[in-house]
Amino acid sequence: MHVLPDDSWLRGIRPQPSRVTAEEYEALPEEIAKAIEIVDGYIVYCEAPTPDHQTAGRRLANVIEAHARTAMDRGHGCVTVNNDVDLRLRDVPLLNRRPDVVLYRCLDRERGERLRAEHALLVVEIVSPGSETQDTTDKPGEYAKAGVPHYWIVRLDNTGVSVIERYRLDRATMLYKHVGTFMRDEAGDTPSVDNPIPITIDWSTLAF
């Protein structure tokens, strides 16, 4: 669990159950913002990720980023990848998540553009002990409603990434449809996708 320096920041916002506004959230110090998510205006404390979780997230981001660079070289347009970054899904009531990995259209830095759902192309969440319900039920519902087109649920074993469940947004229902599952144990398999960009999964790069 993240250790917060003290609780004065919370008292300065206002005691829960009153909702945190976007302005109040944006005024928080970075070390506080990194330890929480905001769901419907209420603070949700984030468990500190395990070393394996962090390793998997970093390596997934590296794999996706390498393919993003190739896609840009082929005229796809500017896209980038990040770990554990604020993703604003809604302003009122505030809904702010920090995906394990997110692929998104490049932001306008000069305008100070914030990462929002309309920029996101793919969100990846890595399932940890205790996060099953959030990653398989709560977050998919939120990301889908916000219009994020692709969502992956990643599962680990003691040797690395073992399963990648892939979902694509059905615009008619604004719900995710399962479009396939990649499993490392399928011998000789090097799976790939075409959307949102071409990505090939080399399981050896996702091993611990």
pLDDT for residue 7: 57
CATH of span 51-206: 3.90.1570.10
H-helix or E-strand spanning residue 200: strand 199-200
pLDDT for residue 111: 84
pLDDT for residue 6: 58
pLDDT for residue 1: 45
Phi, psi for residue 20 in degrees, rounded to 5 = -80, 135
Give every CB contact of residue 149 below 8 A, 6+ residues apart in sequence: 120, 121, 122, 168, 169, 195, 196
Euclidean distance between CA atoms 109 and 114, whole angstroms: 9
Contact criterion met (CB below 8 Å) for 169 and 148: yes
Residue range(s) of every CATH 3.90.1570.10 domain in the chain: 51-206
First-last CA distance in the chain: 23
pLDDT for residue 47: 84
Q: Give the strands of the sheet with 150-157, arranged side by side.
A: 79-83, 101-105, 120-126, 150-157, 160-170, 175-183
pLDDT for residue 48: 86
- Tell me the two tokens of residue 26: 């944006």
Euclidean distance between CA atoms 98 and 37, whole angstroms: 7
pLDDT for residue 129: 85
Per-residue pLDDT of the chain (208 residues; tens, 9 = 90+): 445 555 555 555 555 568 999 999 999 998 899 999 999 999 998 888 999 999 999 999 999 999 999 999 999 999 999 999 999 999 999 999 999 999 999 999 888 899 999 999 999 999 998 899 999 999 999 999 999 999 999 999 999 999 999 999 999 999 999 999 999 987 668 999 999 999 999 999 999 9
- One DSSP character per residue, 96-159 reads EE--SEEEEEPP-TTTTPPPBGGGEEEEEEE--TT-HHIIIIIHHHHHHHHT-SEEEEEEEETT
